[in-house]
Structure 1
């Protein structure tokens, strides 16, 4: 049982360490992202940005931000439930259920449909020249984009099952509450901030993922300072979770080491104890008037059954188990009892053994 406990504690400690490492990496990532975003320049999609790109050796800015309004590039997506127009549309149908697990009812969700549509779009300056817009490339790779979509439709349709059906569902432990349909869009005219690589391609400005994979590609409705605070907040949360996971893992590891150390010390104490018991018995035998050979012969052939060790059934009973007080074993068998030691008569835990000399 002790081995099983040690294995469980060891695995738990290792899992906590891995979780702590994951949270630590997320913390470093968010901290570095906040630092990088805080330092980047913010451009408007206008002639100044295009001239600045033309002056660069590779006609690009490795990591910069552009701020403006979402503009379609000739094609838009129309809401299925209204007149809204946008460039990104996500529609979901989710079934809400209540399921009995181990005697308790828990709410669950089952995604029936999750579809995202996207058309090419650009970021342009409000009231500016549309020729200087910045086209967004690889938008699906951008973080924050789907988190900032505006909800244009949200409807929950309760289940219309009969009372008999509801009763059967509860009997089988799974009840359908209803269906929820939602629609979210990135509407044209929305003010956004795009962070990534800004470059010229065939005379047109574009925004895409940075060449350095450690830098994040971001499209969000937040302003730059809001974005920095957002990542700093995430960084703090991940740091706290990493510390908690590390403390749990360290505590479990310390407990495992304590168990092994205390076990080793206890075994060492018992080994010294039995060495002392053997010395005590030997000294008592030396003070006896009978010769050592006669004593050996007496122990081997003259012992009564009630005086022999209950384990080996050959040697004389030599030690008393405390606190139960049973005189049942010889010193050799008492030492070889498995750890933690228990009395072979009553199975009580043994704190220590005392020598008893029986001539």
Structure 2
């Protein structure tokens, strides 16, 4: 770990432990609340997937017809029914009987030549993080510019496709996959992967000299959803013009996946357990730290209030102990060299310990002692107390 990273870690530690750990306790409480919200969402998705029927493509139409009739007669809703369908990817024009446009409705990889219904190409720029001679400036800049810098560009293309039953032909039963509004991860297959180095330029040398990140390589990838791939679709399915169509459900973490229903249930069950116990542990830690911090700060406040009260009580008692001297300081003629450096009206009577400077009257010396960090007004050295000086 470099010096700058150690300094950043020390600063973050000081911030986290500020106010006797109150900041750390609040941060853990925030993470615990987020874990509880994720646990609630995962539990709801687990219940829905567990109770959703797992159907084959030929059985889908009969189930949807009966469910649609029941829903229309009761509430008139056409949102669809949550189902889990396992099928093979096929282009939609193949089941429409439009064999002439079959080739134009299939996406072909530019590099590998493989056919698919989804084509995703990603170009990622790889940067070197050498700090250079003036690399300390990148520590502050990286906190803000790293998230703004666009290090990859992605192009996404898709054609209408369906899920069919096995490799039977011709296909009489199919379900159309509606990708509109879906942000779920797709089970894509990588068909091309190439890392191309970037030739350095004079500008690259300047970037390296001043600690700027400079590009050293370009990673080019192509991923497709190939024809004939066996996948599982989880979503809301309904009949539109007599054709079954399935679309994604925003409340579920899956839409198109390689996993079966049993694998999805096992995966979600494990996630819910991890989120539950992590939220309990983080919540307990945050409550303990916040409680400890509250008790510590309350005790410090009470001690400070008691010290202030004792200091206010000490001032009149000192004046009452020697009223003659107080009257003499108020009414007597004092030369300029013997005046208090703070009030400039009373005689110097108190010396500070440990510096020993005799520069203040008794009242001003007591007021200096009551400060949070008392220091001598002459040498600015920290003082513990003051002592009254009497003339012989």
1:131 maps to 2:131: no
Q: Could you say if the C-alpha distance between residues 189 and 177 of structure 1 is closer, same or farther in structure 2, counting changes exceeding 3 Å?
A: same
1:266 maps to which of 304, 308, 317: 304
Aligned partner of 1:79 in structure 2 is: 109
Match for residue 45 of structure 2? Answer: 33
Deviations 1:221-280 (A, max 9, x none): 122233234445555369748965995798589658845862563253133134134314
How far, CA to CA, are the matches of 1:252 and 1:322 in structure 2?
39
- Give 1:312's match in structure 2, choosing from 331, 336, 343: 343
- What is the TM-score with the length of structure 1 in the denominator? 0.75
Q: Deviations over 1:31-71 (max 9, x none)?
A: 43234323322211113x32122112237753221122222
1:326-350: per-residue Cα shift (whole Å, max 9, x none)? 5535335633664333332333334
Shift of 1:79: 1.3
Q: Is the 8 A contact 1:65 1:193 kept in 2?
A: yes
CA distance in 1, matches of 2:276, 2:156: 29
The alignment status of 1:218 with 2:255, answered yes or no, reads: yes
Matched, 1:119 2:152: no
What CA distance in whole angstroms lies between the structure 2 residues aligned with 1:224 and 1:202? Answer: 28
CA distance in 2, matches of 1:259, 1:278: 30
Q: What is the total number of aligned residue pairs between the two structures?
A: 341
Gaps of 5+ in 2: 1-13, 73-77, 94-104
Give how far 1:119 is off.
1.0
Instruction: Check conservation: 2:122, 2:152, Cα contact below 8 A.
Output: yes
Q: Higher mean Cα deviation, 24-33 or 38-47?
A: 24-33
Which residue of structure 1 aligns with residue 82 of structure 2? 63
Residue 232 of structure 2: aligned partner: 193
Q: CA RMSD in A?
A: 4.2
Aligned to 1:171: 209
Check the 8 A contact 2:119/2:224 in 1, yes or no.
Answer: yes
Query: Could you say if the C-alpha distance between residues 197 and 84 of structure 1 is closer, same or farther in structure 2, counting changes exceeding 3 Å?
Result: same
Does the residue aligned with 1:38 lie in a helix, a strand or coil? helix
Query: How far apart are the structure 2 equivalents of 1:271 and 1:321?
Result: 22
Question: TM-score, with normalisation over the residues of structure 2?
Answer: 0.69
Is contact 1:311-1:333 (8 Å) kept? no
Deviation at 1:307, TM superposition (A): 5.5
In the alignment, does 2:327 pair up with 1:296? yes
- Structure 1: gaps spanning 5 or more residues: none
Q: Which one has a larger percent strand, Structure 1 or Structure 2?
A: 1
